[in-house]
Structure 1
């Protein structure tokens, strides 16, 4: 059967490797949307206690304001690749932005926890499409020769989101009200919407392939159920709880069924045929291990700073800022090197730097010097700037113009799923280690309450905080092992400058015919 026609005319090959004004404008608009989407994943974390008080509910119920958003992201991401091909990336991006802003406005009007969760789902449906669509638009604008540099631009909000989210959320709640963590998206979203209309090039989609309804019925609920089960592990404290096993197993079975379906379907919802591309395969494996380690360990230090050192959420976020600064320093440099030498060596260096930084936290104590912690975080940030987006570049730079939308969708699904698995895994390890030392839990509770601390002998309090710090340091060992393992698939990433993806795609297909 003949291949369907491309939905958009291929972009001309750029005559210069520098990012021209047109590409930078497109990248700037995409970053605005990405910042909103990513910040809203993390900004709500510090608002959960406020939601508990405001709506008189439990932490488990209030946490659904995060879980509902994440599950909505997971549900809509698989649809994005097909919809972008069918309706055009610009049109779909405008719809996603509108839906996200509308969801933000609705969230600010919530009158109980149930309506807030429902409105967060609406917000997540729009937010889930922004990142893969933004990556597709930027890839088409820059061309394969400059994708490393534009991915470096997009990587800034991806790395800064987990750091800036708690800071912004804490500041807005302390100085205004919880409504503003959602209302702040409205002016930013309107600006992004107007700029998108002006800056993004028009696309003329053509009907090319039928919608994979069977795939949708298998992939979207399968992914959502699986992530729901995995996300329930920390609250349940075990993987054998019914709330964990039942949805996770049903979701996994649906995803397995989707794999068999996708391999026998010419135009599946998620194009698993992309794994015929060697670079894509190793990039996916690398991203899985990296995302599990990165997103999982990302919750450790803020929690340590608040529970063991007694810092506020705002100060905890500020103390982690050197990590973002390190990424901002290395990311533009890494982007340029990737475009000239390929992503393989850059990613290896990045993982090595992250391993060095993480190794420091394996020795964490209850009184570890902040100066050394900030230095280690800066080193980790340097490594992250050389890692996440170069891995994305390794996956996308060898795809043809027609495959880009499906490729970015696949990578975002992998990123979201692996991140949820990492968060759940690290949370369970830390929880079990803390539960093994009753004095640690008592000391953490006392650290948050001066009245309780005054009733505990200083020696007992100091011993408990030491045990708690060791629980965190031992959990960092798990993260370090996962990061080091990432070196294995990273070794096989491309180590040469990107060639013509159209020709590369044709050659790869020919090898498997």
Structure 2
């Protein structure tokens, strides 16, 4: 069903595409780094003589820092301007990368990963909000459909890039590879990305909210991670404390007369609530699958990191193809149609992974991943488009921060939850590793069904926004 209320879209000119390319470099760098480093965990453990329990904090610390940073992105962009906030975030990320490359112990590496994660957490939200502000409502859909594919490609390209780096260079280059990308992004942004002034609505920073929300999310993810490792006491304390802090933030957000860090009332407004559910569960499905499959390929099939990356590549190709499809249809087809279709394709592409116990051939896995990639590209961009196109420009930074927070939380909590399920199934299945992974993918399928239910509440028609003539 098409959205008849939507007039012809405004042409996306070269200047806007150039701005989109520059801003997406930051997102690409931050999301790619997370998966590049995951491939090098074994090398880092050998280098520092660390145990598995110690070295996993190299990944967990980055993830917790990202979760902690995202909620503040909206206030920072409002207070200091989108471009300035984005440039500082790139600088902090590069500083963290240099520090990580010079780490002398596993403890120092974990601390420096926190610095890197604080910068990386700000980049996607501030970049998207800035791009939506520059594009305007009439062009947001098409340009977001291009940049939204990057987070889908990064988990696929990361293992390939990490394996390639470690094949020819020592471990510090897992972090130093960010420097040329970040330097180019800063130089191009200072020259070509328009300056967007800070919001005229100056609000005080929600310190109480920040002390509840960011630590609450971080503690919750920590608790779920401890559940996966079978450590009962820290897991119980972490999950309980995290949920209590998030409940406290919700009460605070509803009662405060000031502007909260993330306004809980946003989630009661259509279409934001439905969009939130779709992105939350999409994050769990995408990042959860990217956690499970490389692990299955290497432990269940004995593949190398490079081989696992190659087998994951069809998902990236599918995401690229889906991005092209969405770019051509996003202004003519109802968001709900695109999103529900995309979730349906993700469901279809997930079904074969529930049968891993029967050892499906590589061609079946590659085909399923390609279908999943197309479906994922059809969800993220339309959801962000409908929200960005129907919200006032001055509220874009906070809306972008909230959406990115949900996607990040969905990915981190979903991955942690799937790790718990996988651990339980491995214990129950014993030597049948493939069967345990197949059982876990039934949970991924359940995530997708939940997302589909939320997507049915998205608008039937496209965004009815004022359009200006093409230039």
Counterpart in the other structure of 2:221: 227
1:188 shift after superposition: 0.9
Aligned ranges 1:218-257 → 2 under 5 Å = 218-236=212-230, 241-257=232-248
Larger radius of gyration: 1
Counterpart in the other structure of 1:36: 29
Uncovered stretches (5+) of structure 2, i.e. residues with no partner: 1-6
Counterpart in the other structure of 2:3: none
Q: Distance in 2 between matches of 1:105 and 1:81?
A: 27
Q: Helix, strand or coil for the counterpart of 1:477?
A: helix
Report whether the alignment pairs 1:71 with 2:52: no
Under a length normalisation based on structure 1, what TM-score does the superposition of the two structures give? 0.86
Q: Distance in 1 between matches of 2:119 and 2:429?
A: 43
Counterpart in the other structure of 2:266: 274
Aligned ranges 1:96-495 → 2 under 5 Å = 96-205=89-198, 206=200, 208-236=202-230, 241-265=232-256, 266-365=258-357, 367-438=359-430, 440=431, 467-495=432-460
Give a deviation string over 1:282-305, Cα, whole Å, max 9, x none. Answer: 111122222223322322222221
Greater Cα offset, 329-338 or 186-195: 329-338
Q: Distance in 2 between matches of 1:134 and 1:323?
A: 24
Runs of 4+ residues over 4 Å off in structure 1: none
Q: Distance in 2 between matches of 1:369 and 1:203?
A: 51
Root-mean-square deviation (CA, aligned residues, Å) is 1.8
- Is the 8 Å Cα contact of residues 335 and 390 (structure 1) preserved in structure 2? no
Q: Distance in 1 between matches of 2:118 and 2:178?
A: 15
Q: Helix, strand or coil for the counterpart of 1:297?
A: helix
Q: Distance in 2 between matches of 1:495 and 1:16?
A: 18
Uncovered stretches (5+) of structure 1, i.e. residues with no partner: 1-13, 441-466, 503-513
- Is the 8 Å Cα contact of residues 36 and 162 (structure 2) preserved in structure 1? yes
Q: Distance in 1 between matches of 2:315 and 2:457?
A: 27
Q: Distance in 2 between matches of 1:354 and 1:293?
A: 9
1:323 shift after superposition: 0.7
1:15 shift after superposition: 9.4
Q: Helix, strand or coil for the counterpart of 2:356?
A: coil
- Is the 8 Å Cα contact of residues 148 and 336 (structure 1) preserved in structure 2? no
Q: Distance in 2 between matches of 1:286 and 1:135?
A: 18
Greater Cα offset, 206-215 or 490-499: 206-215
Under a length normalisation based on structure 2, what TM-score does the superposition of the two structures give? 0.94
Give a deviation string over 1:145-182, Cα, whole Å, max 9, x none. Answer: 22222222222220011111111111111210110011
- Is the 8 Å Cα contact of residues 8 and 331 (structure 2) preserved in structure 1? no
Q: Helix, strand or coil for the counterpart of 1:399?
A: coil
Q: Distance in 2 between matches of 1:427 and 1:257?
A: 27
Give a deviation string over 1:254-276, Cα, whole Å, max 9, x none. Answer: 11111111112231111223234
- Is the 8 Å Cα contact of residues 355 and 438 (structure 2) preserved in structure 1? yes
Bigger relative CO (Cα 8 Å, ≥ 6 apart):
2
Give a deviation string over 1:25-65, Cα, whole Å, max 9, x none. Answer: 11100111111110111111111111111001111111111
- Is the 8 Å Cα contact of residues 342 and 394 (structure 1) preserved in structure 2? no
Q: Distance in 2 between matches of 1:366 and 1:360?
A: 10
